[in-house]
Amino acid sequence: MRFQGKSIIVTGAASGIGRAAATLFAAEGAAVLCADWAESVEGVAQAIRDTGGRAEATRIDAGKEDDVARTVAQAVDAFGGLDIFFANAGISGGMANIFDTDVSLITEVLRVNLVGPYLAIKHAAPEIAKRGGGAIVLTASVAGIRSGAGSPAYSASKAGVINLAQVAAQQLSGSNVRVNAICPGLTETGMTKPTFDYAREAGKMEKVGRLNPLRRAAQPEELARVALFLASADASYVNGQAIAVDGGLSSSHPVTRQEYGKTAV
């Protein structure tokens, strides 16, 4: 029960990593405000309540300042304060290359994926500091570490999130508010559903995630558990870091790998 008595906001809570994290936070004693653009976020909060947890839901555009400010105020009013913000909401923006990507698409991806976490820090950090400190966790991506794991728009937005975590950790010096990021590799979520659906229909699931040493994609709970670690007192001395949770994909530049048990050619 690492989060007993803690007040937590999770954005992107309607599905995938956000839903898994909201459920796990609540299971460890937290009061959770589940925030998402999708109406189905209400069902996530209800499922938590049905199992004896404490949760509320709100609809939010994570890249809109009024919505983020309102969500922080809602958590403070409902739960008496705010201890943790998991800024997880994001969009993919498709896979178009630089020359086929419209500026309006890049702008929207940056608005949700980068401006959203910035707004979370701006509005949540003062409230968290009032409680004596806590944690902000941002969802970046392995695509933000180096090329080859996402579109230009998505990759640039997530690289920005990594740097934002570092800058925010410094600018919150003395507040006891820690800021870290997780960098997921390929994970089965609502965002990646088309990829997984195609692989299943084509009978090619064995190829999904095969570029990383574990040779598989992640499940949302595997990412959520790392977010919970960074939000907890177990990570009390972890600050300004971007933790790759990608099966080892980012441990190497792309190479022709030697197959297990076989001689390299």
Neighbour-count burial of 253, counting CB atoms closer than 10 A to its CB (0-12 exposed, 13-18 middle, 19+ buried): exposed
Catalogue the active-site residues: 154
3-state secondary structure 142-199: HHHCCCCCCCHHHHHHHHHHHHHHHHHHHHCCCCCEEEEEEEECCECCCCCHHHHHHH
Q: Is 40 exposed, middle or buried (0-12, 13-18, 19+ CB in 10 A)?
A: middle
Closest CA to 223 of 137, 98, 123, 120: 137
Which residues lie below 8 Å from residue 211, measured CB to CB, with a gap of 6+? Answer: 249, 254
In one-letter notation, the amino acid at residue 181 is: A
Tokens of 217: 């994609």
| CA torsion angle 146 149 153 158 (round to 10) | -60
SS3 247: coil
103-109 LR contacts (CB < 8 Å, sep 24+): 105/153, 106/152, 106/153, 106/156, 109/153, 109/154, 109/157
User: Residue 108: helix, strand or coil by DSSP?
Assistant: helix
